[in-house]
Chain A
Amino acid sequence: MSYLAKPTLHHPKLPVNKLGYTRRDYEGAVSTLCAGCGHDSISAAIIQACFELDLPPHRIAKVSGIGCSSKTPTYFLGNSHGFNSVHGRMPSVLTGANLANRDLIYLGVSGDGDSASIGLGQFAHCMRRGVNMVYIVENNGVYGLTKGQFSATSDKGSKSKRGVVNTDSAIDLVSMALQLGATFVARSFSGDKAQLVPLIKAAILHRGAAFIDCISPCVAFNNHAGSTKSFDFVREHNEAVNFLDVIVGRDSIAVDYAPGTVVEVRQHDGSILRLRKVVAEYDPHNRVVALNYLQERQAAGEFATGLLYVEPEPEDLHAHLNTVETPLNRLTEAELCPGSAALERFNAAHR
């Protein structure tokens, strides 16, 4: 880890976004994770995505649990709201925050221990309720903070750094998210920002439960031969089903793709997700196809990455609960207390 603050001097040609911020303005403190940690690349991807979307930092809330992954919100979006909560309880805290103030953009940051072990139930209910959020699992398949035990996402048969073979079955959070009704499901790799940044942007724009499983090698405890989450292994077994361009606003971008290989998904807010298909038969609008395809690739020992499933017209928790458009934390006594006359009428109706 580094003890120095990152120098504030930057490239003289660093671009600014519509708000007048540079990418550097979206950074946080210098990471205290191990040098080379995949999580730092994910932080950099989040920074890039928020910069490119011109998001005002004070409109974003980052919520996390416990673990290496859950430390990372300190290292990005230094001017946003943050809550480092209890182990595995990020979904509950985030759901509560979301109910109180639906106007913020919610980034839930978690890891394989935080979401697949202690917080598995929380993860499940958050997905099925359709909380409007980005749920990123920084998945390294190992308990890094406690020196390298297998986690619940470690593949059966993979080897720990000390040579122990994992005998337990792995939890596949992507398949679970699909089954639980998440309306945006993607998988990516920390070592491939070209794929990851557009996925994070699309997930932020998605008005529902958006889940990204991001494989993130642990350089200290899970980057050896025999690991299935090492840089080398993931690069060799990564199978992208599509490439994504995110187009915000009205500016149409002429892209010259071969006909029939592009699928455009218009989202609720008018943004367009343009998917370049790599696997021709893959349909990102069909849960059944997605689930089958995932199982097939998994059986073949590969990771399917890309935008695996998206529901263009999602519904979120607020829609289910039929809450008012105004965030609850801004309702005043005038809206919340109808007065004694109304109370009289209400009581009378029950007599």
Chain B
Amino acid sequence: MKATDISAPDYFHKVVDCQWACPAHTPVPEYIRLIAARRYADAYMLNWDSNVFPGILGRTCDRPCEPACRRGRVEKEPVAICRLKRVAADYKGDIRPRLPSVPRQKNGKRIALIGAGPASLTVARDLLPFGYHVVIYDLDPLAGGMMRTQIPKFRLPQSVLDEEIGYILAMGPELRLGRPIASLKTLLAEGYDAIFVGSGAPRGRDLEVPGRTEAAAHIHIGIDWLAGVSFGHVDRIGKRVIVLGGGNTAMDCCRSSKRLGGEDVRVVVRSGFDEMKASPWEKEDATHEGIPIFNYLVPKAFAHEGGRLTGMVFEKVAPKYDQRGRRSLIPTGEPDVRMDCDDVLVAIGQENAFPWIERDSGIKFDRWGMPVVDPETMQSTLPNVFFGGDAAFGPKNVIWAVAHGHDAAISIDRLCNGADVRDRPHPSVNLVSQKMGIHEWSYDNQVSNDLRYRVPVRDTAVTLKDIRIEVELGYDEKLAYVEAQRCLNCDVQTVFTASLCIECDACVDICPTDCITFTQDGSEEELRGRLKAPAVNLTQALYVSDVLPTERVMVKDEDVCLHCGLCAERCPTGAWDMQKFFLETAQAGHACRSR
């Protein structure tokens, strides 16, 4: 194999699995160490720079980082990254003096943001400190988008939402809320230098089965119903509620119902429990509140009597897999299942809708009705119109919306400064030794054996009574510390210098996870099979050195390295060193333009 080029930023970035998996590439291990050091405000600001909504995300993020966490590959569960983020937000104190200031003298560029959700707010935050005049449009009377309308208050308290959105609104964007946008062409005629569309995926999918129109009064579209609950228009529901769908919206619907008078609340899903789209922890939370989930039932009809919904009829199905592993649901032939109910919430998916964009406005749409958007620049076929969040590529989640927002802000900033939008600024990267003494490092390299700590919750007797009471209490400082210590510090890299190695085998002998092998060179496929422990995880790189004096090479399988630094402690020549890799993605601004 070719010797690994560790100067390429991606190599070590991939080793930091959590950061690599995060759409916004938040430097996770760094902020976890700051939390362990009780530097909550510093941890918060590191997050805020990168993901804009640490308090909100620390409660609601889809956590792509956690399935990626290396800890999950050496023991049962990953580090509770998401809930540690919340700790930073809970204990940070007043960070307002640390927020960027906005120049009074504007730069003369006017930017319109359509939708006041996470994507648009990110663009606003990135551009306002550089003097842009930002105008935010939204149909709803308050900014926040789906974070406000779809996430129930018992998961995300209004105070947290208002605080973090408030940081951005305090930077002085012009708000035009509570009014729908009728036409893109009209907007274009207003002469904005750039327009960003972050209007989300606002349309809930409906269920067209017999009885839908007759019983319409008690059948609700999930996201619309949640919005109604959020703004206080809906404050009760029937005693018996059926929630259709297996995603996170369905989980929010059933848990909200339970708090608004629902006694027999149940979730009915077409697929099996494991294939449900909802995150495992959201299913767990629903189950914890005594909500049963029924699987493999396909809705057949709404039952009604005299124009009033009385129940639902379902067909029983079973999964069948073809040779290519694709699943189809086959009716089992058993009698249909009838469930009585007073209300049905339909949470079976969301769709994009752009009724206000004229099809001859210059923006190309694909055959699924989605705008054609460059995934790197977020630019549409109209050079000064950009898309982000759910509006760009369909429903995803908040953290993707933030990542899109950063990318779009860079593009807008470059466009407004006459630079090529496709020419992307590089991340800033730093790699520096953590050695403090012979066996002393600037990070805590003792690996904790603790299992994942559960986040304390309030008693359901309390939480089910009031929809505004937050269920999770969050970690206290002590729990946060022990959970933070479970982090393996994957950003502290094992850096190998072949010219210093005397091939004494000390690193091989001490490595607790058999990562290191000195062997004859070979092709990657062949090498993976004959290392000290087989390197079977093909998504994880092999770190290969230059050829050593004995004609062998050092091969390190990055897969389950604990970053404990013992290889470097036991190395007599300093051929191994522990060096902290810090990567910050570029954001809009002068620095990104000059590079």
Contacts and interface: CB of A to CB of B under 8 A. Distances in A.
Interface of A: 1-14, 24, 30-31, 34-38, 40-41, 43-44, 190-191, 193, 217, 219-220, 223, 231-232, 235
Contacts of A8: 449, 512
Interface in B552-595: 560, 562, 564, 566, 569-573
B514 interface: yes
Contacts of A24: 512
B571 A7 contact: no
22 contacts: A1-B439, A4-B566, A6-B566, A7-B446, A7-B447, A8-B512, A9-B449, A10-B512, A11-B513, A11-B560, A12-B74, A13-B534, A34-B572, A35-B570, A36-B506, A37-B506, A40-B509, A41-B509, A193-B505, A219-B572, A231-B503, A235-B549
Contacts of B571: 35-36
A231 B504 contact: yes
Nearest to A190: B505
B506 A9 contact: no
A35 B439 CA distance: 10
B562 A7 contact: yes
A223 B502 contact: yes
A11 B515 CA distance: 8
B504 A43 contact: no
Given A4-B439, A41-B509, A235-B549, 13 more contacts: A1-B438, A2-B566, A2-B569, A4-B445, A4-B566, A5-B446, A11-B514, A11-B533, A37-B504, A38-B504, A40-B570, A191-B505, A219-B504
Pairs A-B, 4 closest by C-beta atoms = A36-B572, A7-B447, A44-B509, A36-B504
Interface string B508-547: 1110111100000000000000000110100000000000
Nearest to A24: B512
Interface in B430-449: 438-439, 445-447, 449
B74 A9 contact: yes
B561 to A, nearest CB: 10
Nearest to B446: A4
B439 A2 contact: yes
B510 to A, nearest CB: 7
Contacts of A35: 506, 569-572
A4 B533 CA distance: 23
B376 interface: no
A20 to B, nearest CB: 18
Contact of A6 (B505, B510, B534): B510
B384 to A, nearest CB: 51
Tier of interface size on chain B: 35 or more
Nearest to B550: A235
* Max chain A Cβ within 10 angstroms of own Cβ: one of B510, B514, B549, B570: B570
B73 interface: yes
B75 interface: yes
Interface string B412-453: 000000000000000000000000001100000111010000
Contacts of B502: 36, 219, 223, 231-232
B504 A2 contact: no
Interface in B253-295: none
A7 B512 contact: yes
A40 B505 CA distance: 9
Contacts of A3: 439
Contacts of A5: 446
A13 B536 contact: yes
A183 B216 CA distance: 94
B566 A9 contact: no
A41 B572 CA distance: 13
B454 to A, nearest CB: 21
A41 B512 contact: no
* Max chain B Cβ within 10 angstroms of own Cβ: one of A3, A11, A43, A191: A11
A36 B573 contact: yes
Contacts of A12: 73-74, 560
Contacts of A219: 502, 504, 572
B199 to A, nearest CB: 45
Contacts of B562: 7, 9
Contacts of B503: 191, 231
Contacts of B533: 11, 13-14
A219 B504 CA distance: 9
Contact of B513 (A10, A43, A220): A10
Contacts of B573: 36
A219 B501 CA distance: 12
Nearest to B506: A36
A43 B534 CA distance: 23
A228 B439 CA distance: 30
Nearest to B569: A2
A264 B438 CA distance: 48
Contact of A41 (B438, B439, B505): B505
A73 to B, nearest CB: 16
Nearest to B512: A7
* Max chain A Cβ within 10 angstroms of own Cβ: one of B75, B449, B505: B505
A222 to B, nearest CB: 12
Contact of A7 (B505, B564, B570): B564
B445 A40 contact: no
Contacts of B513: 9-11
Nearest to A41: B505
Contact of A191 (B449, B504, B534): B504
Contacts of A40: 505-506, 509-510, 570
Contacts of A191: 503-505
Nearest to A34: B572
Contacts of A6: 510, 512, 566
A30 B439 CA distance: 13
Contacts of B514: 10-11, 14
A301 to B, nearest CB: 20
Contacts of B572: 34-37, 219-220
A232 B503 CA distance: 10
* Max chain B Cβ within 10 angstroms of own Cβ: one of A36, A40, A232, A235: A36
Given A9-B562, A10-B513, A11-B514, A41 B504 contact: yes
Contacts of B512: 6-10, 24
A30 B446 CA distance: 13
Nearest to B75: A9
A112 B382 CA distance: 81
Contacts of A44: 505, 508-509
B3 to A, nearest CB: 22
Nearest to A8: B449
Contact of B509 (A7, A13, A34, A43): A43
A262 to B, nearest CB: 23
Contacts of B566: 2, 4, 6-7
